[in-house]
Structure 1
Amino acid sequence: MNPLPPSLSDQTLRQVRRAWRKYGILWMGAVLVGLVAVLYAWLMDVGFGMFRSMQQSHFWLPLFITPAVGALCVWATRRYFPGAEGSGIPQVIATLEEDTTRRGQSLLSIKLLLGKIGVSFIGILGGFTIGREGPTVQVGAALMFNLRRLYPRASAALERRLILAGAAAGLSAAFNTPLAGIVFAIEELTRSFEHRASGVVITVIIFAGAVALGLNGNYTYFGTIHINSALTDMLALAVLVTGILTGIAGGFFCWLLLNTKRWIPARLQHLRSNRPIAFGALCGLAVALIGIIAGGATFGSGYVEAKGLLEGHQQLSVFYPFLKMASMVSSYLPGIPGGIFAPSLSIGAGFGNLLHQVFGNTSLEMLIALAMVGYLAAVTQSPITAFVIVMEMINGHALVISLMATALIASRVSRFFAPPLYDALSERYRVACAEAMPANAEIEQMKLKEVGEVKEVKELNNEQNSDSELGSGTQK
C-alpha cells in the first residue's frame, strides 16, 4: 500500500488540528466542567451529611466546631487562596469586564479553583450557610479559562468567550437548568451577548449538562410541583404581596452586605479588619447559636428544608426565613468561600411558608415557588435569570407569568435598598486588581492600548474567516 503524498498528509494533519482547536478543546472543557460540578455537588452533600449526623447526635457540638471551622476557613482563604472568598460570581464579572488575562490569572487560576472547592467543603463541614452553585460558576469559568493555553494564540476575545461559557455551564450543571445558564450569561455576567459567543456558550452547556445528566440522571432540582387551578383565585394579590415582601427582604440583605460599616459596631469592625481569623470564629459562633435556636434548620445551604416544604413533609417556624437570613449574613461576612443561590432559595421558601398563613386557601407549593423567585430576584436583581432558574428547577411552566411578575416586582423593590449585589461586589475586585498592578505594568498596558484594539480587530477577522460558527480564537 502506497503512503499518502506528503501534501495530502500535511493537509489532513492541518484539518485534524483545526478540528481539535475548533471543537475538541471546547468539548473536552465542557465535559470537564460537568464532571467537576457533579464531584463538587457530591462532596458538599457528603460534608453536610457528616455535619448533620454530628449535630443531631450532640446538638451543642456546633458551638465548638463551627467557630473553629470559621477560623480555619478564613485563615486558609486569606493565607493561600485570596480571591476564593464568597460566591465567585463577582470575580467572574470583574474578569470579564476588562484586563481579562491578568485578572483571570489572579481570580481564575487552578490553585484558586482547588481552594474554592476545598475550603467551601470545610465550611459546610462546620454547618455554615453556604451553597455550591455560585462557586461552581467560578470553578467552571476557571476550568475553561485555563484551556486557553491549548490554543496557539489566545486573544482577549477568546478568553472572554471561554470564561463566559464555563461560568454559564457551571450554573447549568449545578442546577440542571440549561436555559438558566444561557440567560445567566446574558443578564448577569455580560448584560449583552456577543453573536460569536453564543455557539461557544451553548456547546459547552450542552456537553457539561449531558455529563451531569449521565451521572445524576434526568431530574429537577426541587422536583415537580402540581398547581390546582381552582386554588388560584387570589393569585394576582399573592404575586403582588410576595413580590413586595421578598423585594424588601432581599434588598435589605443586600444592603447589609454592602454597608457593613454602617451597622456593624466599631469594635467588631476593628476585629474584622485587624484580626479576621478571630472575626471568622465569632461569626461561626453566631451561626452555631442561630442554628441551635432554629433547631438545626438554618445549618447548611437550606436545600433540604426548601425541598421538604415543597414536598409537604417539612414543618418550619414562621421565623425560619429571618433566622436563615441572619445565618447567611454571618456566613458571608468573614469571607468564607460559598454561594448564596441555594440559601436564598431556602429563605424564599420560608417566606412562602410564612405567606401561607395569610393566603390559607392558596396552594402552599405555589406560594413557595413565587417567594423563591422573588427573593432570588431581589438578591441578584436579575429577574429573568431568577424566574428561569426557578421555573426549570420545579418544572413550573404553568406558573411562568406569575413567576415573571413576582421576579420583576421583587427586583424593582430591591433597588430602593441597594444596587445589584454582584456588580457592587465585583467592583471591589476591580479596585484590588488595579491597586495590585505594578507601575511598569500599568505603563506597558497604556502603551499597548492604542495598538491592542487594532490588533484584536485583525485577530477577530482572522477568526471569523477560519471559524465562522463557534469561533475558536486561533490565529493564522
Structure 2
Amino acid sequence: MDTHQKSKVYHSLVHWHNFRLKVFLEGIVIGIIAGIITVLFRYSIEQGEQLRSLVYAQIENNLLLLLPWLGALLVIALLLGLIIRFEPMTGGSGIPQVKGVLLGLLKTNWKSVLAGKFLGGVLAIGAGLSLGREGPSIQLGAAVGQGLSRMIGRTKMEERFLMTSGASAGLAAAFNAPLAGVVFALEELHKNFSPAVLMSAMAASITSALVTQLFFGDSPVFTITDLPVFPFRYYGDLIILGVLVGFLGIAFNKMLIKTLNLYNRQNRIPRIALAAIPLLIGGIAGTVLPEILGGGNNLVGPIVSGNYGLSMLLILLAAKFAFTMISYGSGVPGGIFLPMLVIGALAGGAFSNVAVHFLAVDPHYTTNFVILAMAALFTAVVKAPITGSILITEMTGSFSHLISLITISMTAYIVAELAKSAPVYEELLDRILVKTKALLHSDKSRTIVDFVVCVGSKLDGKRVKNVEWPSQCLLISIKRGDKEIVPQGDTQILAGDFVYLLTSTANAEHVRQLAQECLV
C-alpha cells in the first residue's frame, strides 16, 4: 500500500461519520447497477428455461429430435469450458471466490468475472443443470462493487465494504429478499456487523430489491397462501425433522466435496469438456424426469400443493440430490443455494407424508414441514442459521413462523456442529486456495484489516501493549461508538470496539483469527 493510499485510509478513519455517509450513498449506486444486472441475469435464465421446455415438448412428440439437442448441449459444454479457461474465477458458485477476495486471499478481474459469470450462468442453468442463480448473482454484485471502487479510486478497506454491499444487492435481487441479502453478506461474507458496512449493505440491498420489483413485481419467490402458525404440540416432530435434515446437510457437504474430487481425479475427459457429463445426463433425464432440471424453484409449488406421493417425493429427492452433485462438481458457473432449498423442500414433503400417516399429524400443517425443512437444510449446509431463517421468511412472504424456523434451524445446526461438518463455502474456498496456490504466504502487499472485538474474546479488556500482535502489524485506530481512539500502549481494548490494523496480506487471516479466539 503506497503513501497516498495510507493517507486516504487515515482520512476515512478520522472522518468516520462522513465515511459512513459516503459508503451509504455508494451502496445506493451499487444497488441500482447490481439490481439491473441481476434482473437481466434472472430474465435471461428464465428465457433459457422456457426455450428448454419448448425443446422437450418437441422431443416428446418426436424422439429423434433428442440427438440434435444433445449435440447442442455438447456445444454449450465447450463454450462453458472456454469461459472457465479464460476466467477461472467464474467457475462454481462464486460465493467462495467473493469470500476469498474479501479476505485478501484471492485476486480477481471484475470485468472478466462480470462478463464470464453472466454468460456462463445463463448457459449452464438455462441448459438444465441443477444449479442456482443466487451464487452467480452474489458474485456479479460483488464485481459491481469492486468495479465501482476501482473506477473512483477507493481504498482497499472501502473496496471490501463496496464488494460486500454488491454481494448483498445480488442476493436481494436474486430472491427478492433484501433483509436476507444484508444478513448473509454480514454473517457469511464480511463477518462484521460494523455500522459502515451495515449501512452500505442495507442501502444496496433495498435499492436492488426495488429495482427487481419494478421488473418482476413484489411477490415472493415461492407463492404460498394460508400458511398456518405451527402449533407447539408438533414441536417434537419438528425437532425430529431438524435432526434428519441435519444429517442430510452433512451428506450434502460430503458428497459435494467427493464429487469435486472425482472430477479432478479423472483424466480421460479434457477439462474444457467436463461440462458435457452433466449436460448429457440432464439432456436424457429431461425426457423422463424434467422436474430435476434447472434450479428447481418451480418444483416447490407442486410439493406444497401435495401433488406428489411419498414414492415420487423420494425419487425426486434422490434424483435432484444426485444431479446437483454431478452438475456442481463439473465446475461450471452456477450456485447450490436454490437446488439446496428444493432438496430441503422434497425432504420436508416426504417427512410430512410420513408424519400424517404414521405420527397422527394434522394434514393442515404439511406445508409447514416443507418450508421449515428448507431453512434447516440451508443451515446445516452453510452453517448460517440467521440467514436461513430470514431468507425463508422473505421467500415465502410469511412472518408467522419465525419461532418454528429458528427451532428447526438451530436443531439442524447443532447436528452439523456435533458432527464437525464444516460450512460448505469455507470448504470450497479452501479447495480454491489449494488449487490455485493462492495462500499468499510470500505476498508482501499490505491491507487494512477491520474487526469487532466480541465479548469473551482474548482481546477484550487487554491493553494494546499486552497483545501478541503478528509481525509487520500496525494498529491504526480503534472506534468506540462514534469516538475515535488513537491507540497507545496503555489503551485498553473493550468488547464492541472496532479495530483497524495495517498488516501484510499474508497476516490478514491470522489477525482475524486472533480477534475470534475466546477465553476458555
TM-score (norm 1): 0.81
SS of the counterpart of 1:58?
helix
Match of 2:424 among 396, 421, 426: 421
- Taking the aligned partners of 1:321 and 1:366, their CA distance within structure 2 comes to 18
Structure-2 residue corresponding to 1:348: 344
Deviations 1:124-164 (CA, angstroms, capped at 9, x unpaired):
23211111111100000010111113434x22210110111
Structure-2 residue corresponding to 1:53: 54
Look up the equivalent residue of 1:307 and give its one-letter code. G
Shift of 1:335: 0.4
SS of the counterpart of 1:419?
coil
Look up the equivalent residue of 2:242 and give its one-letter code. G
| Structure 1 residues 184 and 300, CA gap change in structure 2 (3 angstroms) | same
Question: Any residues of structure 2 matched to 1:180-191 within 5 Å, and which?
Answer: 180-191=180-191
SS of the counterpart of 1:344?
helix
Deviations 1:289-323 (CA, angstroms, capped at 9, x unpaired):
444443x1101111101123234567754321111
Shift of 1:236: 0.9
Structure-1 residue corresponding to 2:392: 390
Q: Do structure 1's residue 283 and structure 2's residue 278 form an aligned pair?
A: yes
Look up the equivalent residue of 1:413 and give its one-letter code. V
- Larger RCO: 1 or 2 (CA < 8 Å, sep 6+): 1
Q: Do structure 1's residue 88 and structure 2's residue 129 form an aligned pair?
A: no
Match of 2:300 among 299, 306, 310: 306
Structure-1 residue corresponding to 2:135: 134
Look up the equivalent residue of 1:258 and give its one-letter code. I
Q: Do structure 1's residue 163 and structure 2's residue 175 form an aligned pair?
A: no
Structure-2 residue corresponding to 1:247: 246
| Structure 1 residues 422 and 69, CA gap change in structure 2 (3 angstroms) | farther
- Taking the aligned partners of 1:81 and 1:444, their CA distance within structure 2 comes to 25
Q: Do structure 1's residue 236 and structure 2's residue 235 form an aligned pair?
A: yes
| Structure 1 residues 355 and 159, CA gap change in structure 2 (3 angstroms) | same
SS of the counterpart of 1:457?
strand
| Structure 1 residues 120 and 261, CA gap change in structure 2 (3 angstroms) | closer
| Structure 1 residues 44 and 398, CA gap change in structure 2 (3 angstroms) | same
Look up the equivalent residue of 2:177 and give its one-letter code. T
- Taking the aligned partners of 2:158 and 2:447, their CA distance within structure 1 comes to 22
| Structure 1 residues 390 and 464, CA gap change in structure 2 (3 angstroms) | same
Q: Is the 2:245–2:344 Cα contact (8 Å) retained in structure 1?
A: yes
Look up the equivalent residue of 2:27 and give its one-letter code. L
Q: Which residues of structure 2 form unaligned runs of 5+?
A: 1-17, 357-361, 450-469, 485-520
| Structure 1 residues 93 and 20, CA gap change in structure 2 (3 angstroms) | closer
Q: For structure 1, which segment, 361-370 or 51-60, has the greater mean C-alpha deviation from structure 2 after superposition?
A: 51-60
Q: Which residues of structure 1 form unaligned runs of 5+?
A: 1-16, 466-476
| Structure 1 residues 126 and 206, CA gap change in structure 2 (3 angstroms) | closer
Q: Is the 1:74–1:276 Cα contact (8 Å) retained in structure 2?
A: no
User: Which of the pair is proportionally richer in helix?
Assistant: 1
Question: Any residues of structure 2 matched to 1:35-54 within 5 Å, and which?
Answer: 35-54=36-55
| Structure 1 residues 291 and 348, CA gap change in structure 2 (3 angstroms) | farther
- Taking the aligned partners of 1:321 and 1:30, their CA distance within structure 2 comes to 36
- Taking the aligned partners of 1:225 and 1:76, their CA distance within structure 2 comes to 44
Report the RMSD for the aligned CA atoms in angstroms. 3.4
- Taking the aligned partners of 1:77 and 1:447, their CA distance within structure 2 comes to 30
Look up the equivalent residue of 2:29 and give its one-letter code. M
| Structure 1 residues 189 and 24, CA gap change in structure 2 (3 angstroms) | closer
| Structure 1 residues 272 and 302, CA gap change in structure 2 (3 angstroms) | farther
- Taking the aligned partners of 2:132 and 2:256, their CA distance within structure 1 comes to 17
Structure-2 residue corresponding to 1:409: 411
Structure-2 residue corresponding to 1:369: 371
Structure-2 residue corresponding to 1:206: 206
| Structure 1 residues 421 and 436, CA gap change in structure 2 (3 angstroms) | closer
Structure-2 residue corresponding to 1:27: 28
Q: Is the 2:130–2:323 Cα contact (8 Å) retained in structure 1?
A: yes
- Taking the aligned partners of 1:448 and 1:249, their CA distance within structure 2 comes to 39
Deviations 1:366-422 (CA, angstroms, capped at 9, x unpaired):
111011111222221211111110011112322111111111112232342731100
Structure-2 residue corresponding to 1:197: 197
Q: For structure 1, which segment, 211-220 or 171-180, has the greater mean C-alpha deviation from structure 2 after superposition?
A: 211-220
Q: Do structure 1's residue 111 and structure 2's residue 106 form an aligned pair?
A: no
Identity across the alignment (%): 26
Look up the equivalent residue of 1:424 and give its one-letter code. E
TM-score (norm 2): 0.75
| Structure 1 residues 400 and 464, CA gap change in structure 2 (3 angstroms) | same
Structure-1 residue corresponding to 2:323: 327
Q: Is the 1:223–1:394 Cα contact (8 Å) retained in structure 2?
A: yes
Q: Is the 1:254–1:417 Cα contact (8 Å) retained in structure 2?
A: no
Look up the equivalent residue of 2:40 and give its one-letter code. L
- Taking the aligned partners of 1:110 and 1:459, their CA distance within structure 2 comes to 35
- Taking the aligned partners of 1:448 and 1:213, their CA distance within structure 2 comes to 36
- Taking the aligned partners of 1:228 and 1:435, their CA distance within structure 2 comes to 49
- Taking the aligned partners of 2:20 and 2:390, their CA distance within structure 1 comes to 34
Q: Is the 2:132–2:294 Cα contact (8 Å) retained in structure 1?
A: yes
Post-superposition, which runs of at least 4 consecutive aligned residues in structure 1 deviate over 6 A?
17-20, 446-452, 458-461
- Taking the aligned partners of 2:447 and 2:144, their CA distance within structure 1 comes to 30
Q: Is the 2:156–2:448 Cα contact (8 Å) retained in structure 1?
A: no
SS of the counterpart of 1:258?
helix
| Structure 1 residues 74 and 314, CA gap change in structure 2 (3 angstroms) | same
- Taking the aligned partners of 1:125 and 1:76, their CA distance within structure 2 comes to 17
User: Which of the pair is proportionally richer in strand?
Assistant: 2
| Structure 1 residues 367 and 23, CA gap change in structure 2 (3 angstroms) | closer
- Taking the aligned partners of 2:285 and 2:53, their CA distance within structure 1 comes to 15
| Structure 1 residues 178 and 435, CA gap change in structure 2 (3 angstroms) | closer
Q: Do structure 1's residue 78 and structure 2's residue 94 form an aligned pair?
A: no
